[in-house]
Amino acid sequence: MFTTDNVQLLLSKATLKLIKDDKGVEHPMAECILLRDPFPIALARELGEGVADHLYDDEDGIREELQSITLDPKVQQQAISVREAPDVPSPLVTLRHVDILTLTCAKAVDEKTGEVWIKASLRVRFGLAEREHREFLVRGFGHLLCWSFSVEQRPLPLGV
């Protein structure tokens, strides 16, 4: 996902769902919307040149034809450390086994000044079995927080 640590994102929406696994067992999950406004080209490039090319032209300007686009990033499950501020040493929570579902980007325009920028919303899903995940939703909802993404490490098989 993003290689930059402490990306400021607003936890703006959370929906609780029951999601069935491949064995038909239901698990309580949270689907959240994380907002970034504005969404700079540097962060778009961290998601890959293909993503950046959908949003920006060869001169790093916003594509004229862009109104909004929803992308389905192919990203491994993430472990996300969330802090209140970049200089806070310990995270509020480390969310485990987070699925990145979609990235939606839209052109925004200030009608008074004519300034144009991109705003982005990232839809993520994680389990609610862990108490700290549930408590985080209550504490973090509606706050601009610092999010650091890393690939979730899979456990090693026994005997290795």
Q: Which of 94, 100, 91 is nearest to 80 (CA)?
A: 94
pLDDT at 104 over 70: yes
pTM across the whole model: 0.91
Neighbours of 26 (CB within 10 A): 10
Helix, strand, coil abundance in the chain, percent, nearest 5: 15, 45, 40
Q: What pLDDT, on a 0 to 100 scale, did the predictor assign at position 158? A: 62
> What integer pLDDT is reported at residue 37 of this predicted model?
96
Tokens representing residue 10 in the block? 């607003």
Structure tokens at 93: 């929570």
CB 34 within 8 A of CB 52: no
Please determine, for residue 157, whether its predicted confidence score (pLDDT) is greater than 70.
no
In this structure, which amino acid lies at residue 119? K
Residue 81 backbone zone (phi > 0: left; psi -120 to 50: alpha; other: beta) = beta
Helix (H) or strand (E) holding 124: strand 116-127
Exposed/middle/buried for 9, CB within 10 Å: 0-12, 13-18, 19+?
Answer: buried
Decide: 39 and 119 in contact? Cβ < 8 Å.
yes
Task: Tell me how far apart the alpha carbons of residues 81 and 156 are, in angstroms, rounded to a whole number.
Answer: 22
pLDDT confidence tier of residue 135, bands split at 50, 70 and 90: very high
Q: Work out the mean pLDDT of the chain and round it to a whole number.
A: 93
Q: Give 39-69 pLDDT, tens digit per residue.
A: 999 999 999 888 999 999 999 999 999 999 9
DSSP code for 110: -
**Type of residue found at 159:** G
